[in-house]
Structure 1
């Protein structure tokens, strides 16, 4: 596949993994503070894409991300924005509620981003690869083959396995689906750190990220929740231009709908995340 790949070489020390900032300035401010508190340098902070999305401050979010110096791949939203496409490319079913909402937030984001921010988005690679604790990891958005593919914990391993083969990886770090999870088979690990821009449909306004730790030269990972000023995020979204349903989700932690979710994940709505 013709993809721009950024190879970070061998990383060591704590490494921060996160995704789906979704224009949530308050969340990325809080996460940057966590990284600084933990002593994690910007080059060890890696985003699975969709820096821009549903919330009210796309320009400020991109500029803070750029200032921070963290690493990111492109999500489907970045690809569409930098190509000046007419929609977000999220692979929502036409006519669905998510599709309708995207016709509000995506043009809003387009209208707010400066040429400087768009130029920055054009520099982002499709995938990132790095070595960590003797394992090769590849960062993708949806999957290696399709940036907009929804891969969940319940997704059959046969859908995940080709990603490891194609990238010659031991670990796939992925985003897009909005839910944190890990799935391990045959010595291979699919790790989704979750997203920080929206709650994980678990009934809690806090959001999710993950930290790698190579203590004792082992590949260790832990999922964490992030608390931030979600009330301010929600208030800023109530501007008459963005979906009110998304501003409510920021507070309630419950998605407006489960259109994209498989049956298993749908049944877990509001029950908390089990990791």
Structure 2
């Protein structure tokens, strides 16, 4: 049964690790779990913002990995449409666009690759999570409160974001779907997107992203972190399964096949390496030097 009600996790404390969009990329999931283990973050403090299933080659293995890992997760639009038996990913792509045409290759593959048990488990995931953290009300959603597949980016006007804050009553929103890591913080409210781990962030590097929240001394803070993984293996598996070659190539180049879903501000940033706020602690997270015309940096992150 589809779980439509938000799930309240109560109060969480200690460091939290937030990640989005595994996209059926088992190799990225395995590396992220190794990072979480090294950081000694318990599973109850790890959150996935949806789209466990997606473009890459191992949907069944990815779902089973997240299930067995035991982290908190919500449904993304991909999960929702699989549960409903729809014939597309529900990404709100324009009909006939390149994204729409490519989704007609990878989405049917994902559907036929999943076991009935995995689909049942996905249907138990909530659409939203809520909890309190560092004295702040936090909501976890996939796209926006207005729609699971609504795209919200850094450049999305603040009044659009305010609608989700008002609907959830949250001071902090942890969102997914957009595929890019970013923060937009104003007037005591924080919209944080951890990015995704299944595909690079269109920044010309093969790195993928996650987010750490911290409540040291009761102060809410956050840092974005990147890591690399065996993207060569993930690429090979996509090619072997006949999945879109351009998406497989993105795992190697860090450049998206197209920017159809992006606003103009985000399109202009294609190929510019993002710089994390702090160095990654894991051995797999060595920084990659940014190309010209220069890196994109995250602002200071304390509240």
TM class by smaller structure: over 0.9
Root-mean-square deviation over aligned CA pairs: 0.9
Residue 40 of structure 1 aligns with which residue?
41
Distance 2:121 2:220 in 1: 31
Distance 1:93 1:103 in 2: 13
- 1:257 deviates by 0.5
Distance 1:110 1:47, change over 3 A: same
Secondary structure, aligned partner of 1:238 = helix
Quick check: 1:15–1:213 contact (8 Å CA) kept in 2?
Answer: yes
Give TM-score scaled by structure 2 length.
0.89
Quick check: 1:211–1:222 contact (8 Å CA) kept in 2?
Answer: yes
Residue 102 of structure 1 aligns with which residue?
103
Gaps of 5+ in 2: 275-295, 299-303
- 1:3 deviates by 3.6
Residue 281 of structure 2 aligns with which residue?
none
Moved over 6 A (4+): none
Distance 2:238 2:87 in 1: 22
Residue 212 of structure 1 aligns with which residue?
213
Counterpart check, 1:221 vs 2:222: yes
Distance 2:213 2:142 in 1: 18
Residue 152 of structure 2 aligns with which residue?
151
Distance 2:167 2:179 in 1: 24
Secondary structure, aligned partner of 2:143 = coil
The number of equivalent residue pairs is 274
Distance 2:78 2:215 in 1: 32
Distance 2:227 2:140 in 1: 21
Alignment of 1:116-127 (within 5 A): 116-127=117-128
Distance 1:214 1:35 in 2: 17
Distance 1:174 1:64 in 2: 21
Quick check: 1:108–1:241 contact (8 Å CA) kept in 2?
Answer: no
Gaps of 5+ in 1: none
